[in-house]
Amino acid sequence: MKTIVQRVPEKTIINNSVKKSIWMDSWKKLKKQRSAMIGLGIVLFFIIVGILAPVITSQPYDGFNPKETLISPNAQHLFGTDDQGRDIFTRIVFGARISLWIGFFSVIGSIIVGSILGLIAGFYGKWLDAIISRFFDIMLAFPSILLAIAIVAILGPSLFNALVAIAIINIPTYGRLIRSRVLSVKEEEYIMAARITGMSDGRILFQHILPNSITPIIVQGTLGIATAILEAAALGFLGLGAQPGQAEWGKMLADSRQFITIAPWTLLFPGFAIMLVVIGFNMFGDGLRDALDPKMK
């Protein structure tokens, strides 16, 4: 009785080892960049704070205590209290959840939709490319924040609608990026070979073209999270994002702007939190771009 042994093609083993080597080299290069690691540390810090918010503080973030309004920072209230007697430290800790939630999921939504449209436009070209590209151009013709305001005004002010609006306005960024990559990757010899063997367009797109076009998307997505957090804060400041009672940093700034002279801590700490998390994502994104760029190696 013969035993059949299925051999794994050597080319597949080589390709997998090359991919692992590339990612390992990129990680080693990233670790050598002090600013990138500081940015990663800031991002991880806020993620941990958001996850462990109920453990870090036991005070309610949406309570009302008229006896403790506008108390300056002290041992009991590290960041002071706002005009409703709510502990600002607690609201910032819980606000990290909202800001990161909006940042991550709005970018994920933009990447999914933008990548699909970019893949179709770049791969098929002709009239599909023309229609999708004109759609991107029209969206990019409007200032992003004004377009987000218009979308939220149509859908109605809420945190979820703000997330949807931020995801929509950033679709062209990722769509055009993936389209440009597809235009160059689809001319490679291995794509031609896949077509000759009769591989379907869907398999070529998602098994060959997309994996080889994902690097710039990862970098842009990391930087895009910082932009999304700023846009969410702007919508919250305008009253179109988080609603009263929700612990969102932009909304905290809007509610406290009238107390800037008598209680500056009500604006200082949420503003510093926004600045710090945005700087963290930008520093990490810049380092990631340098580490994954073949020209930098």
Q: What is the CATH number of the domain that holds 110?
A: 1.10.3720.10
Widest pairwise Cα distance in the chain: 90
Could you tell me if residue 28 is inside a domain? no
For 81, phi then psi, to 5°, come to: -125, 165
Which position has the token pair 């994002």? 241
Residue type, 81: T
Q: How many helices (H) and strands (E) does the chain have?
A: 13, 0
Residue 8 has pLDDT above 80, yes or no: no
Q: Is residue 12, in this structure, part of any structural domain at all?
A: no
Average pLDDT over residues 80-99: 91
Q: Is residue 24 part of a domain?
A: no
- Please indicate whether residue 169 or residue 185 has the higher confidence score (pLDDT): 169
User: At residue 248, what are phi and psi to the nearest 5 degrees?
Assistant: -120, 135
User: How many domains does the chain divide into?
Assistant: 1
pLDDT tops 70 at residue 291:
yes
| 203 or 92: which leads in pLDDT | 92
- Answer whether residue 200 is part of any domain: yes
Q: How far apart are CA 85 and CA 72, in angstroms?
A: 11
Tell me, yes or no, whether 6 lies in a domain.
no
**Mean pLDDT score of the chain, rounded to an integer?**
85
For residue 52, the enclosing domain spans 43-65+76-296
Residue 38 lies in a domain: no
36 is a domain residue = no
pTM of the model: 0.83
Percent of the chain whose predicted confidence (pLDDT) is above 90? 43
Q: Is residue 17 part of a domain?
A: no
Q: How confident is the model at residue 134 (pLDDT cuts 50, 70, 90)?
A: very high
| pLDDT tens by residue, 95-114 | 999 989 999 999 999 999 99
Find the angle CA(243)-CA(151)-CA(135) to the nearest 5 degrees. Answer: 155
